[in-house]
Structure 1
Amino acid sequence: MTDTFEELVAKQRAADEAHVRVRHLQETYGPPTDTKWSNLQTTTWETAWRAWRDLARELHVAVSDFARAGGKPRHVVEAEVRQAVQHEQQGGADA
């Protein structure tokens, strides 16, 4: 089933938020090569990384399906989705 454009935007937003979480954990814990992470820190980071990876993969498949169904190049749909997310973040009227 092909997602709607709004669903693609929601998936992009979720993937972006998961990526921010991974980056935040990396910044908080420090580089694992410089600082020994505890088992809890390692597990927390790995869980966050897997969530981001899975969301990004799901988004990629959904964008590809949507583009194919609409007869558009995938990179064009991807750019439109990113632009819509950015517009929302900037407080766009359609958000």
Structure 2
Amino acid sequence: MAHTFEDLVELEQSAEAAHAQYLAGTTDPDAARQAWIDAAAAFQQAATEHAEAEGKVRYEVEMAVKKAVRHPESSEG
């Protein structure tokens, strides 16, 4: 399944949110950790598929998405 850049941003945002939940020390840290791992893995898989479909370098796709998620003000315009 080909993913759009926007799909990748949403997946990375989910991974970041799961990571924050884990760091917040939820009542079930094992479940929170697994949710984070699963969300991060979903993002990585989608980034790989997107890069292959677009003929791009996977690392560059990943970095562009992470920049858009972590620094949205610098990716506007």
TM-score (norm 1): 0.72
User: Which stretches of structure 1, 4 residues or more, deviate above 6 A after TM superposition?
Assistant: none
Q: Distance in 2 between matches of 1:85 and 1:67?
A: 18
Quick one: structure 1 residues 77 and 92, their matched pair in 2 at CA, closer, same or farther if it must change by over 3 Å? closer
Q: Distance in 2 between matches of 1:49 and 1:80?
A: 25
Structure 1, unpaired ranges of 5+: 27-40
Q: Distance in 1 between matches of 2:15 and 2:9?
A: 10
Greater Rg by CA: 1
Quick one: structure 1 residues 73 and 47, their matched pair in 2 at CA, closer, same or farther if it must change by over 3 Å? same
Structure 2, unpaired ranges of 5+: none
Q: CA RMSD in A?
A: 1.9
The answer as to 2:50 corresponding to 1:45 is: no
Aligned residues: 77
TM-score (norm 2): 0.88
Higher relative contact order (CA 8 A, sep 6+): 1
Partner AA of 1:67 in structure 2 = A
